Chain A
Amino acid sequence: MADLVQLVTIGLLAGGIYAAVGVGFSLVWGVLNIVNLAHGALVIVGAYLTWQIFTASGLDPFLTLPIDAVALFALGYVVQRGVINRIIRAPLLFTFLLTFGLNLIAVNVLLLIFKSDFRSVTTAYSGAGLDLGGIVVPYIRLAALGSALLVAAALALLLNRTRVGLAIQAVGSDRDAAQLVGIDLRHAYAVTYGLGAACAGVAGGLIAMIQAITPTAGEPYTLQAFVVVILGGLGRVSATVVGGLVFGLVEAFAQSIPGSGSVFANAIAFGVMVLVLVTRPQGLLGRLR
């Protein structure tokens, strides 16, 4: 029984990270209809930013998260406005390839700068955790879960209660109608991608605290983000959060089966995805897109 609770705990904690990674991805997909293959790269850029600031200044990594958000927002805005906007009306294949190309550029530029050595962010409280009757809950992971939920809530608030957010939703609903009511499409698109990147950056900062990072460490997160969004369903932030948590649980349980282990991470992700696509394509909470 205790093992079960521990497993669920592990799953939920991991799920928080997945949710954080997923919400930015879901936003960009839902509004811009772009499956951002560079999402993992944005995550890892955020991770490196946190690591760099932490290493250079000793600032607590959780305090670097807002910096991650702002910096990645700016990066995302520029990329969307300058590059991705140019082919947004082309068939799906092209946006796919473009984001893949951007991913290639980003990851390899990181490799040039940071080499492929593993880096990690270790604070004084890195190893410590709560002990709830035998169930171990590492502080960092708990705070990460909290931060992830906070980010999701902030995003949802922004989308639903601010002018910017409503403009983004309008653009996502009907691009042409949004233009007719006076929304600057290029700007709206860039802001959306920027927000997606900002969420990715924060997720990256959280990841830097939890695992060792290297430029290629972001790759699996793209596929996992995709699975999370499919699992939860496209449409609302809450759907992605649920998707992330459920995926965390699924992964925790799958990995506890003797003989598997984290080597099968991608295979598990893929398996879940195909299962959902074939049985319930709109995901747990979403609408069909």
Chain B
Amino acid sequence: MTTSQRWQRILIVLGCAVIAYAVLAPLTSLDGAQALNLPLLTDKLWFRLATITAMFVVMATAWNIIGGLTGYAAFGNVAFFGIGAYTTGMLIAKAKWPFLLALPLAPVAAAIFAVLVGLPLLRLRGHYFAVASLGVGVAVGELVQNLDYRGEPIFGGASGLFMPIFAVPNRDLYFFYLMLGAAGVSIAVTWAVIRSRFGYGLIAIRENEEAAAVIGVNTTAYKVAAFALAAALTGLAGGIFAQWNVFIDQENSFPIAYNVEMILMALLGGTGTVFGPAAGAVVLQLLIQFLSGSLPITLDLPFVPEDAMPVLAQVVLGVLLALVVIFAPRGVIDFFGGRSRLTIAYLRRSLRETSI
């Protein structure tokens, strides 16, 4: 067995172990399991972190469809998250819809918005598209927070939107599985797209849009479809988040940081692959939580006061971003995919290819 095959095996085993743990460990929190004296592997904190991680798996995998497969690096996908969150939130809080009825409308609303915005936006290339999409992300958040109708904020304004708590036994477990399910759907969709005619069309657009057009790919329709698909999945995560968190506002539904985080996750894990973004999401989310001090294991730096930790965490994130972009642009999963090995030589080569 070659080294790369061995690494692949290791990765697959590791991946399966993580997935098995994620799916089965929560079951130990059920009353039935407790009655059997099974060790309690999860607690409130575990569920919170795990649900957020699953949420990012959805977002990173979704971004990959428009950014990794199609090559249009959107920088404002958090807009879809927020739209999903507010769609579900408004239906529940204002229209008094039940959660499970309101949830499916989140991806629908996000997708519709993506089509409307995507048609003009996807005609732009490179920088223009990136910043225009960033602008969308920022602007939508602002509009949602500040739009008034006759003096009253439409979407709850600065004080946000509150929802009644969704009454279900084992609520933490329920929402975790729901978000995990969304993650599963995202991955499954990506898997299906990559090996379909649609997927080949997207990759063709990424590799050479002009060539794709002259062999018969309807590039506009495909790009918008990919954008809408990414939006729908991201919106789904937002919809689940809204009810799970019970409270939504501009800050937690349209955080600008999410835009870069989902891209970094996809990049770290390997864009254009099925599991790459998911792997990147898990690794990066753990790192972010660790740095913010949310994990049971924390880092105590002697010179840094408690309240400066989140700020320092951001600095570390920035440094990490810079390092990944400079040294490992093809992502970590590239190593495990067997195409290259994590050596100094590889890092040096990566660097040489891109510097002057």
Contact = CB atoms under 8 A, between A and B. Distances in A.
Decide if A and B touch, CB cutoff 8 A. Answer: yes
Interface of A: 29, 33, 35, 83, 85-90, 92-94, 96-98, 100-105, 107-109, 111-112, 185-186, 189, 223, 226, 230, 259, 263-267, 269-271, 273-274, 277-278, 281
Kindly name the residue among A35, A83, A86, A93 whose own CB sees the greatest number of chain B CB atoms within 10 A. Answer: A93
Contacts of B132: 270, 273-274, 277
B321 A259 contact: no
Given A86-B354, A93-B130, A108 B314 contact: yes
Interface stretch (B133-141, B196-204, B212-220): B133-141
Which of B121, B123, B127, B148 gathers the greatest number of chain A CB atoms within 10 Å? B127
B322 A101 contact: yes
B142 interface: yes
Contact of A104 (B120, B128, B138, B315): B315
A167 B123 CA distance: 34
Given A89-B354, A98-B321, A100-B321, A266 B135 contact: yes
B125 to A, nearest CB: 9
A100 B312 CA distance: 16
Contacts of B320: 101
Given A87-B354, A87-B355, A267-B142, 6 more contacts: A94-B325, A96-B127, A104-B314, A108-B314, A186-B356, A266-B138
B181 interface: no
Given A92-B130, A108-B311, A274 B354 contact: no
A143 B132 CA distance: 33
A108 B316 CA distance: 10
A96 B354 contact: no
Contacts of A101: 317-322, 325
Contacts of B120: 274, 277-278
B83 to A, nearest CB: 15
Given A92-B130, A97-B260, A108-B311, A185 B142 contact: no
A88 B131 contact: no
B325 A223 contact: no
Q: Is the interface of A mostly helix, strand, loop or mixed?
A: helix
21 contacts: A33-B127, A85-B356, A86-B354, A88-B356, A89-B356, A96-B130, A97-B264, A97-B321, A98-B325, A101-B322, A101-B325, A104-B260, A105-B322, A108-B314, A111-B311, A112-B308, A223-B138, A230-B128, A263-B145, A271-B139, A277-B124
Contacts of B325: 87, 90, 94, 97-98, 101
Interface string B300-338: 000000001001101101111110011001000000000
B318 A96 contact: no
A264 B142 contact: yes
Contacts of B318: 101-105, 108
Contacts of A265: 142
A93 B356 contact: no
B264 A89 contact: no
B126 interface: yes
A103 B260 CA distance: 12
A93 B127 CA distance: 8
B136 A112 contact: no
Nearest to B67: A93
B143 interface: yes
B134 A223 contact: yes
B264 A259 contact: no
Contacts of A96: 73, 75, 127, 130
Interface in B231-279: 260, 263-264, 267
Contacts of B130: 35, 92-93, 96
B135 A90 contact: no
Interface string B84-101: 000000000000000000
B146 interface: yes
A112 B312 contact: yes
A230 B120 CA distance: 16
Most chain A beta carbons < 10 A, residue from B308, B315, B351: B315
Nearest to B158: A263
Contact of A97 (B145, B267, B353): B267
A235 to B, nearest CB: 15
Contact of B317 (A89, A93, A104, A230): A104
Given A97-B267, A102-B318, A112-B311, A85 B139 contact: no
A94 B315 contact: no
A98 B143 CA distance: 28
Contacts of B128: 230, 277, 281
A128 B128 CA distance: 41
Contact of B135 (A107, A263, A270): A270
B64 to A, nearest CB: 12
